[in-house]
Amino acid sequence: MSEETSNRVFADGILKGRVALVTGGGTGITGGVARALAEAGARVALVSRKIENLEPAAALIREGVGGDAQAFAADVRDYAQVERAVAGCVEHFGRLDIVVNGAAGNFLCPAEELSPNGFGTVVDIDLKGTFNVCRAAFEELKKRRGLILNISATLHYGGTPLQLHVSAAKAGVDALTRNLAVEWGAHGIRSNAIAPGPIEDTEGMKRLVPPDIKERLRKRIPLGRFGRIRDVEQCAVFLCSDAAAFINGAVIAVDGGHWLGGTRLL
């Protein structure tokens, strides 16, 4: 499938009328997801700590996609700030249907050198931040029979060196995804996650994977290439659409089969 074809796999406007709040929506994978939801017709609220990342991303969506996007600065670790961002979104757009939790922190660090605060900081951003946003959005999601989409990882399916903190946090995100699917499914709220594998055009990949390891990593991906942000975007649009109306509690790896491909015998 060419890049050009892959841009047109969904019918126009499949998310028309919906409002999505996307954390980490200014940059990287979640920045792409926010833009893709807007391309599918949703109005989007972009949330992260740095308003200087959010404003250009929101402007790009308004001007490039012709969608409606607003920036709301908040640190997902701070519940009061998250509540204000959710209230701001509802005040501006009049509703909230979709929450995408993509705000994440990461650095490479051996476990024996990781400080308790370093561990806690990543868990606070990735896991507690995800809870904070879901919790703050609950009443609005309940009104709309809305949905939650968490951005997880595949790091914790095995043991990934230098990634203890992120692996622990993302394992928690998977647990939260499944728990909310069960508890809030009763309100018609679907809760799912995407676990991206190695995605080439990201800051994380540039910063976390040294060039000499990159080619070895690519060879371990059964589909023979790195993922693209577009690959994650398309899964996100699908999960946020009515095509996924009966999918609840799923964690979908978008990794070209990478985590399954690392055979230990050969």
3-state secondary structure of 158: coil
Q: How far is the CB of 173 from ligand HXC (least distance, A)?
A: 10
Q: Which is nearer to ligand HXC, 118 or 188 (CB)?
A: 118
10, 55, 60, 118: residue in contact with ligand HXC (rule CB under 6 A): 118
Distances (CA, A) of 82 to 76, 107, 113, 131, 150: 6, 24, 31, 10, 16
Residue 50 annotated as catalytic:
no
Per the annotation, the verdict on 6 as an active-site residue is no
DSSP symbols for 219-249 = HTSTTSS-B-HHHHHHHHHHHHSGGGTT--S
Stretch that binds ligand HXC, among 30-38, 81-89, 98-106, 234-242 (CB under 6 A): 98-106
Q: Does 216 bind ligand HXC (CB under 6 A)?
A: no
Select the residue interacting with ligand HXC from 36, 82, 104, 181 (CB under 6 A): 104
Give the x/- contact pattern for ligand HXC in 189-208, rule: CB under 6 A. --------------xx---x
Q: How far is residue 70 CA from its own chain's centroid?
A: 18
User: What is the rounded CA–CA span in Å between residue 263 and residue 266?
Assistant: 6
In angstroms, the CA 48 to CA 162 distance is 25
Amino acid at 259: W
CB of 33 to ligand HXC, least distance (A): 13
Of the candidate residues 56, 115, 185, 245, the single one contacting ligand HXC (CB under 6 A): 115
Binding flag, residue 221, ligand HXC (CB under 6 A) = no
Q: Identify whether the C-beta of residue 49 lies closer than 8 Å to the C-beta of residue 74.
A: yes
The one catalytic residue among 48, 128, 170, 191 = 170
User: Which of these is catalytic: 48, 152, 167, 191?
Assistant: 152
Residue 122 interacting with ligand HXC (CB under 6 A) = yes
User: CA angle 202-204-209, nearest 5°?
Assistant: 105
Query: Nearest distance from residue 113's CB to ligand HXC, in Å?
Result: 7
Give φ, ψ of 163 to 5 degrees.
-130, 30
* Closer Cβ to ligand HXC, 168 or 208, answer by number: 208
**134 binds ligand HXC per the rule CB under 6 A:** no
Please, what is the angle between helix 164-185 and helix 116-123, to 10°? 30
What are the catalytic residues?
152, 170
Site residues for ligand HXC per CB under 6 A: 104-107, 109, 115, 117-118, 121-122, 153, 155, 166, 203-204, 208
